[in-house]
């Protein structure tokens, strides 16, 4: 417990007295609980962004190089009556959704849960930018379906980030209450 926390809990401080719920203490506590998530978000984005750039902006589509192997794997699964609902087009859509879940989640961690809408807007803008860039690249195909799938992934990522940050904040408040009382 810091000196400010002790002073706020005891109702005294360097300037006189203040209530135990002083805004300074609340803001101090909120920013400290979000710090590990922000650090995780920054590190995660530094690792994830180059991978996404490589997958989405490489001139020859990387997925087409592995497509024959993936198709043979799907055929193997289908022959054993497993994942019969999964085929190449559906897998590609799911991959687009999955790619933007961690990006939006990490971005929301960096910006904080209160700015979830900024993380979502930046994620949608990124997918639109990627698809516009792909439109002008030989061998790449831009699609509205990719924008929708990536945006759905961004929504899922932002919802997860807000939920995780809420759980972390609640756990911090509970642990702080047990330490103080």
How many beta carbons lie within 10 A of that of residue 52, not counting itself? 17
pLDDT truncated to tens, each residue of the chain (181 aa)?
A: 555 455 455 555 455 554 555 444 344 444 565 688 999 999 999 999 999 998 888 877 666 778 899 999 999 999 999 999 999 899 999 999 999 999 999 999 999 989 999 999 999 999 999 999 999 998 888 999 999 999 999 999 999 999 999 999 888 888 777 766 5
Which is nearest to 99 in space by CA: 147, 52, 62, 58?
A: 52
In-domain check, residue 9: no
Q: Give the C-alpha separation, 119 to 127, whole Å.
A: 12
65 within domain boundaries: yes
In a domain, 17, yes or no: no
> Taking the alpha carbons of 9, 13, 16, 18 in that order, is the dihedral positive or negative?
negative
Quick check: is 4 in a domain? no
Long-range CB contacts (< 8 A, 24+ apart) of 54-61? 55/99, 56/99, 56/130, 56/134, 57/130, 57/133, 57/134, 57/137, 59/137, 59/138, 59/139, 59/140, 60/139, 61/139, 61/140
Q: In terms of residue numbers, what domain contains 112?
A: 35-180
How many folded domains does the chain comprise?
1
Residues 25, 20: Cα–Cα separation, whole Å:
8
Instruction: Phi first, then psi: give them for residue 13, nearest 5 degrees.
Output: -160, 180
Residue 103 lies in a domain: yes
The rounded distance, in Å, linking the Cα atoms of 143 and 96 is: 11
Phi, psi of 86 (to 5 degrees): -95, 120
């Amino acid at each position: 417990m810091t000196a400010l926390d002790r002073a706020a809990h005891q109702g005294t401080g360097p300037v006189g007295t203040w209530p135990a719920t002083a805004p300074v203490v609340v803001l101090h506590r909120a920013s400290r609980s979000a710090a590990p998530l922000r650090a995780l978000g920054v590190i995660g984005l530094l690792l994830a962004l180059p991978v996404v750039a490589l997958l989405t902006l490489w001139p020859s589509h990387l997925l087409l190089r592995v497509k024959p192997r993936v198709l043979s794997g799907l055929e193997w699964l289908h022959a054993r009556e497993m994942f019969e609902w999964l085929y190449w087009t559906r897998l590609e859509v799911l991959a687009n959704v999955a790619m933007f879940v961690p990006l939006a989640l990490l971005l929301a961690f960096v910006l904080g849960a209160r700015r979830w809408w900024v993380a979502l807007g930046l994620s949608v803008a990124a997918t639109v930018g990627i698809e516009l860039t792909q439109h002008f690249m030989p061998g790449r195909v831009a699609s509205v379906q990719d924008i929708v799938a990536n945006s759905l992934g961004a929504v899922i990522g932002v919802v997860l980030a807000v939920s995780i940050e809420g759980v972390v904040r609640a756990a911090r408040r509970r642990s702080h209450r047990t330490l103080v009382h």
